[in-house]
Amino acid sequence: MKKPRDAWCGLLAAVAIGVVLSPLEVVAASFACPPGLPPGVSCGDKDPTAAKAGAYAVDPSHAGIVARVSHLGYSYSIFRFGKVKGELTWDPARPAASKLQVTVDTASIETNVPKFAEELAGDKFLKSTAFPEATFVSTAFRRTGATHGEVDGRFTLMGKTAPVTFKVDLVGAGAGFGKPRMGVHATTWLAPKAFGLPAFFTTPIELVVDTEFERQP
């Protein structure tokens, strides 16, 4: 059995590695396309030139939106929204000309706490009956690196709209399977009071998006 001091040294070493290498960089460094894929199926590549210009739609089978909410200062509670749709007009030659619109079904919230999802969707929190959708409409795209960027936009929740900025990383792009596709990882922070959430929420809420976009004909 490891001594407590050894365990702490191991933890500190892991933290130090995490400071140097982000989770996405770890995935990019370790991923290798598996052999024996069916004909017409190709893996994504972290190559910005593989994300061709065109109109894209969110692939709802490969899209996830997670809200990370502070749980009384002890940890972060994780809430996932299972129903999302959206359209992206992408122009790699002129990123500033790109456009994005995403809609989330607020009643599709999920949690592993029994019956809590229904409470969250109810009138005490998200008021999903009166406000069934949350939306994001972009106002500006900015490239900050070969595979990194920022997207400004207007986020609407429960009838209230405020500006937010997503930091976006390209995870992979390529021929896909049936349709060309690209996948991204994006994060932003929401101010609870700006959207009318109860005073129970005292700290910003992190919104994490992992999704794939399919190119449309």
Residue type, 178: G
State yes or no: pLDDT of 10 exceeds 80: no
Residue 145 lies in a domain: yes
Phi/psi of residue 89, nearest 5 degrees: -105, 115
Residue 71 lies in a domain: yes
Q: Residue 153's pLDDT band (boundaries 50, 70, 90)?
A: very high
What is the reported pLDDT for 3?
Answer: 52
Lowest mean pLDDT across 6-15, 51-60, 146-155:
6-15
Q: Residue 200's pLDDT band (boundaries 50, 70, 90)?
A: confident
When the pLDDT of each residue in the chain is averaged and rounded to a whole number, the result is 89
Residue 102 lies in a domain: yes
Q: Residue 59's pLDDT band (boundaries 50, 70, 90)?
A: very high
pTM for this predicted structure: 0.84
Name the residue range of residue 159's domain. Answer: 41-215
Report, as an integer, the average pLDDT of 99-115.
97
- Give dist(CA 196, CA 80) in Å, integer: 20
3-state class of 78 per DSSP? strand
What is the reported pLDDT for 175?
Answer: 93
State yes or no: pLDDT of 42 exceeds 70: yes
Residue 6 lies in a domain: no
Indicate if the alpha-carbon torsion angle 142, 147, 148, 150 is positive or negative.
Answer: positive
What is the reported pLDDT for 182?
Answer: 96
What is the reported pLDDT for 48?
Answer: 87
What is the reported pLDDT for 199?
Answer: 82
State yes or no: pLDDT of 74 exceeds 80: yes
Place of tokens 């019956």: 115
Give the CATH number of the domain where residue 180 resides: 2.40.128.110
State yes or no: pLDDT of 37 exceeds 80: yes
State yes or no: pLDDT of 137 exceeds 60: yes
Residue 36 lies in a domain: no
Residue 170 lies in a domain: yes
Report, as an integer, the average pLDDT of 32-57.
92
> Which residue intervals of 4-66 are DSSP H helices?
4-20, 23-30
**For the chain, how many structural domains are there in total?**
1
